Amino acid sequence: MTHGLVIVNTGDGKGKTTAALGLALRAWGDGLRVLILQFLKSNRTTGEKSAIGMIREQFGGIELRSCGLGFTNRNGDHEEAAKAALCEAKTAIKCGIWDMVILDEINYAVRAGLVTDEDILHLLDLRPENLHLVFTGRGIPDVLRERADLITEMQCLRHPYEKGITAQKGIEY
């Protein structure tokens, strides 16, 4: 029997989501069923959505759902979107379909006040023993730090933004 892990990718450096997507691909390649829920990211087309969509259509076993309105959307009701994403996360954790659930940018949602520490504790308490649960985003709630099995902090040593290079397709999205 698999012992599910609570994994956290955090820090101010690039690569939190990228690392989680790599983990998802590895898990899927080994036959695990993987769901990725993106808390703040919108339905904008990205490389990972295109790739995972093609894999899902051809083989199944992996799914990516964007539940947010986007980081730059100032007009939407981010609180409602976060609550809906939280509801999807609870359902996914309890349903028994998935072997790994990735909650992308949920840490940032906590920092923004859209998700509470109690919500995080509830997700952790719902988790079956064999489910891998992955949290990404800047900042890590103390309640998650205490319960995580693996925490990786990405540290920014240099970033192309410092040279005026904007986000690039295939690299940042």
Please give the pLDDT value at position 122.
Answer: 98
Q: Give the span between the Cα atoms of 163 and 173, in whole angstroms.
A: 19
Residue 42 or residue 11, greater confidence: 11
| CA-closest candidate to residue 66, choices 95, 99, 35 | 35
Please give the pLDDT value at position 76.
Answer: 64
Q: By percentage, how much of the chain surpasses pLDDT 70?
A: 94
pTM above 0.85, yes or no: yes
Distances (CA, A) of 110 to 26, 50, 82, 118, 133: 27, 28, 10, 10, 16
Write out pLDDT tens, residues 100-154: 999 999 999 999 999 999 999 999 999 999 999 999 999 999 999 999 999 999 9
Mean of pLDDT over the chain: 92
95, containing H or E segment: helix 78-95
Q: Give the span between the Cα atoms of 146 and 87, in whole angstroms.
A: 23
Instruction: Identify the structural domains of the chain with CATH numbers, from first to last.
Output: 6-163 (3.40.50.300)
Q: Give the span between the Cα atoms of 39 and 81, in whole angstroms.
A: 8
Q: Give the span between the Cα atoms of 36 and 62, in whole angstroms.
A: 8
Q: Based on C-alpha coordinates, what's the Rg of the chain?
A: 15
Q: Give the span between the Cα atoms of 84 and 87, in whole angstroms.
A: 5
Please give the pLDDT value at position 74.
Answer: 63
pLDDT classification of 75: cutoffs 50, 70, 90? low
